[in-house]
Amino acid sequence: MKRFKFYNFALLFAICAPAYLSGIASAKADLRVCNKTKTLVGVSVGYRLNNSWITEGWWRIPANICTSVIEGDLGSRYFYLNAEDANTGGRWQGPVFMCTSNKEFKITGLEDCFARGFERTGFFEIDTGDQKSWQIQLTENNQTKKDKKSQ
Protein backbone atom coordinates (compact mmCIF):
# COMPACT_ATOMS: atom_id res chain seq x y z
CA MET A 1 0.00 0.00 0.00
CA LYS A 2 1.37 3.38 -0.97
CA ARG A 3 2.25 5.61 1.97
CA PHE A 4 1.25 9.24 1.88
CA LYS A 5 2.49 12.23 3.81
CA PHE A 6 -0.12 14.32 5.53
CA TYR A 7 -0.08 17.84 6.84
CA ASN A 8 -2.05 20.14 9.12
CA PHE A 9 -2.10 17.64 11.93
CA ALA A 10 -4.72 19.62 13.84
CA LEU A 11 -7.29 19.12 11.06
CA LEU A 12 -7.42 15.37 11.50
CA PHE A 13 -9.44 15.35 14.69
CA ALA A 14 -13.09 14.69 14.02
CA ILE A 15 -15.70 16.73 15.77
CA CYS A 16 -16.85 14.46 18.56
CA ALA A 17 -19.98 14.89 20.63
CA PRO A 18 -22.31 12.64 22.59
CA ALA A 19 -25.40 11.81 20.60
CA TYR A 20 -27.66 13.83 22.89
CA LEU A 21 -25.64 17.03 22.28
CA SER A 22 -25.90 16.67 18.53
CA GLY A 23 -29.67 16.54 18.70
CA ILE A 24 -29.82 12.99 17.42
CA ALA A 25 -31.80 10.75 19.71
CA SER A 26 -30.85 7.11 19.76
CA ALA A 27 -32.65 4.27 21.49
CA LYS A 28 -29.42 2.40 22.14
CA ALA A 29 -25.95 3.33 23.35
CA ASP A 30 -23.25 2.94 20.70
CA LEU A 31 -20.10 4.44 19.27
CA ARG A 32 -21.43 5.87 16.01
CA VAL A 33 -19.53 7.34 13.07
CA CYS A 34 -21.38 9.75 10.79
CA ASN A 35 -20.02 10.31 7.30
CA LYS A 36 -20.91 13.92 6.51
CA THR A 37 -18.89 13.89 3.27
CA LYS A 38 -20.14 13.44 -0.29
CA THR A 39 -18.35 10.11 -0.82
CA LEU A 40 -17.87 6.66 0.67
CA VAL A 41 -15.59 6.47 3.73
CA GLY A 42 -13.80 3.40 5.16
CA VAL A 43 -13.50 3.37 8.98
CA SER A 44 -11.43 1.33 11.43
CA VAL A 45 -11.55 1.54 15.22
CA GLY A 46 -9.24 0.58 18.09
CA TYR A 47 -10.09 -0.06 21.75
CA ARG A 48 -9.08 -1.98 24.88
CA LEU A 49 -10.93 -5.15 25.79
CA ASN A 50 -9.96 -7.33 28.77
CA ASN A 51 -6.43 -5.86 28.96
CA SER A 52 -5.84 -6.40 25.22
CA TRP A 53 -5.79 -3.91 22.37
CA ILE A 54 -8.18 -4.68 19.51
CA THR A 55 -8.38 -3.00 16.11
CA GLU A 56 -11.25 -3.68 13.71
CA GLY A 57 -12.22 -2.52 10.25
CA TRP A 58 -13.38 -1.76 7.70
CA TRP A 59 -16.83 -0.26 7.97
CA ARG A 60 -17.87 1.16 4.63
CA ILE A 61 -20.02 4.20 5.40
CA PRO A 62 -21.79 5.86 2.46
CA ALA A 63 -22.21 9.64 2.22
CA ASN A 64 -24.52 11.20 4.81
CA ILE A 65 -25.01 7.94 6.74
CA CYS A 66 -24.28 7.11 10.41
CA THR A 67 -23.15 3.62 11.41
CA SER A 68 -22.54 2.01 14.80
CA VAL A 69 -18.97 0.68 14.95
CA ILE A 70 -19.22 -0.38 18.61
CA GLU A 71 -22.67 -1.54 19.71
CA GLY A 72 -24.02 -1.25 23.24
CA ASP A 73 -22.82 0.75 26.24
CA LEU A 74 -19.24 1.89 25.76
CA GLY A 75 -17.02 -0.08 28.13
CA SER A 76 -14.02 2.25 27.77
CA ARG A 77 -13.42 5.95 28.01
CA TYR A 78 -10.97 6.03 25.08
CA PHE A 79 -11.45 4.78 21.53
CA TYR A 80 -9.25 5.31 18.49
CA LEU A 81 -10.36 5.97 14.93
CA ASN A 82 -8.82 5.96 11.46
CA ALA A 83 -10.77 6.62 8.28
CA GLU A 84 -10.13 7.16 4.58
CA ASP A 85 -12.22 8.85 1.90
CA ALA A 86 -12.60 6.29 -0.89
CA ASN A 87 -12.54 8.91 -3.66
CA THR A 88 -10.06 11.58 -2.58
CA GLY A 89 -7.75 9.49 -0.39
CA GLY A 90 -8.13 12.10 2.37
CA ARG A 91 -7.74 10.66 5.85
CA TRP A 92 -8.72 11.11 9.42
CA GLN A 93 -5.74 9.79 11.39
CA GLY A 94 -3.52 10.57 14.34
CA PRO A 95 -0.37 9.79 16.33
CA VAL A 96 -1.48 6.52 17.97
CA PHE A 97 -0.26 3.59 15.86
CA MET A 98 -2.20 0.34 15.67
CA CYS A 99 -2.28 -2.68 13.36
CA THR A 100 -4.63 -2.73 10.37
CA SER A 101 -5.11 -4.66 7.15
CA ASN A 102 -6.23 -3.74 3.64
CA LYS A 103 -9.06 -6.28 3.97
CA GLU A 104 -11.71 -6.70 6.67
CA PHE A 105 -9.93 -7.41 9.97
CA LYS A 106 -10.07 -7.88 13.74
CA ILE A 107 -6.56 -7.83 15.21
CA THR A 108 -5.47 -8.36 18.81
CA GLY A 109 -2.34 -6.50 19.95
CA LEU A 110 -0.39 -3.46 18.80
CA GLU A 111 3.09 -4.93 18.59
CA ASP A 112 4.99 -6.22 15.56
CA CYS A 113 2.35 -5.20 13.01
CA PHE A 114 4.65 -5.70 10.00
CA ALA A 115 6.10 -8.99 11.29
CA ARG A 116 2.54 -10.33 11.68
CA GLY A 117 1.62 -9.35 8.12
CA PHE A 118 -0.34 -6.18 8.97
CA GLU A 119 0.00 -2.46 8.28
CA ARG A 120 0.91 0.07 10.98
CA THR A 121 -1.62 2.91 10.85
CA GLY A 122 -2.11 6.16 12.77
CA PHE A 123 -5.33 6.59 14.74
CA PHE A 124 -6.68 9.61 16.59
CA GLU A 125 -7.97 9.38 20.15
CA ILE A 126 -11.59 9.87 21.12
CA ASP A 127 -12.20 10.69 24.79
CA THR A 128 -15.82 9.82 25.51
CA GLY A 129 -15.61 11.11 29.08
CA ASP A 130 -17.20 7.88 30.33
CA GLN A 131 -20.37 8.48 28.31
CA LYS A 132 -22.35 5.37 27.39
CA SER A 133 -22.91 6.66 23.85
CA TRP A 134 -20.79 8.81 21.50
CA GLN A 135 -21.00 10.09 17.95
CA ILE A 136 -18.17 11.18 15.65
CA GLN A 137 -18.75 13.45 12.65
CA LEU A 138 -16.38 12.96 9.69
CA THR A 139 -16.43 15.98 7.37
CA GLU A 140 -14.33 17.17 4.46
CA ASN A 141 -13.14 20.05 6.66
CA ASN A 142 -11.63 17.83 9.36
CA GLN A 143 -9.69 15.41 7.15
CA THR A 144 -6.13 15.68 5.93
CA LYS A 145 -5.57 15.65 2.19
CA LYS A 146 -3.20 13.43 0.23
CA ASP A 147 0.20 15.02 -0.27
CA LYS A 148 0.34 15.89 -3.98
CA LYS A 149 4.08 15.01 -4.10
CA SER A 150 3.42 11.37 -3.16
CA GLN A 151 0.85 10.69 -5.88
Supply the pTM of this predicted model: 0.75
Which among 124, 117, 85, 89 is positioned nearest to 103, based on CA atoms?
117
Of the CA atoms within 13 Å of residue 102, those in its CB half-sphere come to 5
Predicted confidence (pLDDT) per residue in 71-98, tens digit: 878 878 899 999 999 888 889 999 999 9
In angstroms, the Cα distances linking 33 to 17, 36, 67, 128 are 11, 9, 5, 13
Rounded mean pLDDT of 93-113? 95
Whether 125 shows a pLDDT value over 80: the answer reads: yes
Is the pLDDT assigned to residue 118 strictly greater than 60?
yes
pLDDT digits (tens, 9 = 90+) for 16-68: 334 333 444 444 678 899 999 999 999 999 999 888 999 999 999 999 999 99
Among 29, 100, 98, smallest CA distance to 68 is for 29
Helix (H) / strand (E) element for 17: namely: strand 15-17
Backbone angles phi, psi at 80, to 5 degrees: -130, 140
